[in-house]
Amino acid sequence: MINVTPYIGRFAPSPSGPLHFGSLIAALGSYLRARSLGGKWLVRIEDIDPPREIPGASSAILRTLEAYGFEWDDSVLYQSQRLDVYQDKIEQLLQDDLAYYCQCTRKQIQAMGGSYDGRCGKLIQPLTQGAIRVRNPYAIEQFVDQHMGLVSVDKRFAAEDFIIKRSDGLYAYQLAVVLDDIHQQISEVVRGCDLLEPTCRQESLYHLLKSPIPKWLHLPLACAEKGRKLSKQNHAPAIDNLHPQASINAALAFLGQSSVATESQASKMIEQAVSQFDLTKVPTQSEILLDT
């Protein structure tokens, strides 16, 4: 009997503001992919950067997902409840000499040519404070995307020993996202193309942790202008919870999918969208400019 690994996908917003149209595309794309394959769809709140978080945003995000007809499996995972896990892994990496402290400033790294050269990891007397970087012997510079094909990134970026805990004591996205995806047994990561480069670093970390690597599927970014994606940081407007139908069809159109009946409730629209989802129709460019 052949064992088939179950599909498990996820949507992992940060509570730095309400969901906007770009967030909806990521949520919808990941949901359609998971449900069309008969898989699970999990929600994770990435709340490990308190200075950027807005009070009440986490619950507002969940309410918006409900208003748009999304149904998630299992309990919502909050990264803020897993800080001990991140710290334990960092201590293990330090003990095994797979990570080290670094006190180099951005100005110093610019003087290195813009790419960190690993100098703090070569000190005879290791530092005992500062940011923590992971040793990156794998320097992965290519990966296969399930829709875009082979993706390559800058060699210098791929080879860097990257930060897994910041000098201000906050845990870095690269570490937390990998440990959480391992914990939740995510089989495929569906997200925006703004995370194409970090994918290579995450693959390196999976190798270092000797853990299975999920598949990757990146979606086009919704941009107000070239190179400027919609985001909470540039004050993209929140999507309408009271009348979600128009936004659902707009997001489907963005993803190259057929529209669904707007007379239906949001949950029925999502069900119909799942039944007719076609990955081959999703655009392969990294960003799409929105009509204004």
Determine if residue 193 is labeled as part of a ligand binding site. Answer: no
Q: Residue 107's Cα: distance from chain center in Å?
A: 28
* DSSP designation for 264: S
Determine if residue 102 is labeled as part of a ligand binding site. Answer: yes
Determine if residue 66 is labeled as part of a ligand binding site. Answer: no
Determine if residue 206 is labeled as part of a ligand binding site. Answer: no
Determine if residue 70 is labeled as part of a ligand binding site. Answer: no
- Please write down the long-range contacts of 227-234, taking CB distance under 8 Å and 24 or more positions apart: 227/287, 229/22, 229/192, 229/194, 229/287, 230/20, 230/21, 230/22, 230/290, 231/20, 231/22, 232/14, 232/16, 232/17, 232/18, 232/20, 233/16
Q: From CA 286, how far away is CA 211, in angstroms rounded?
A: 28
- Strands 228-229 and 221-225 come out as antiparallel
Q: From CA 176, how far away is CA 181, in angstroms rounded?
A: 8
Q: From CA 241, how far away is CA 178, in angstroms rounded?
A: 31
Determine if residue 152 is labeled as part of a ligand binding site. Answer: no
Determine if residue 223 is labeled as part of a ligand binding site. Answer: no
Determine if residue 254 is labeled as part of a ligand binding site. Answer: no
Determine if residue 232 is labeled as part of a ligand binding site. Answer: yes
Q: Which amino acid is present at 187?
A: S
Determine if residue 191 is labeled as part of a ligand binding site. Answer: yes
Determine if residue 116 is labeled as part of a ligand binding site. Answer: yes
Question: Taking Cα atoms as reference points, which of 61, 72, 66 lies closest to residue 31?
Answer: 72
Per the structure block, which two tokens stand in for 164? Answer: 């897994």
| Known binding-site positions | 10-14, 46, 102, 104, 116, 120, 173, 191, 232
| Known binding-site positions for ATP | 232
| Known binding-site positions for L-glutamate | 10-14, 46, 173, 191
| Known binding-site positions for Zn(2+) | 102, 104, 116, 120
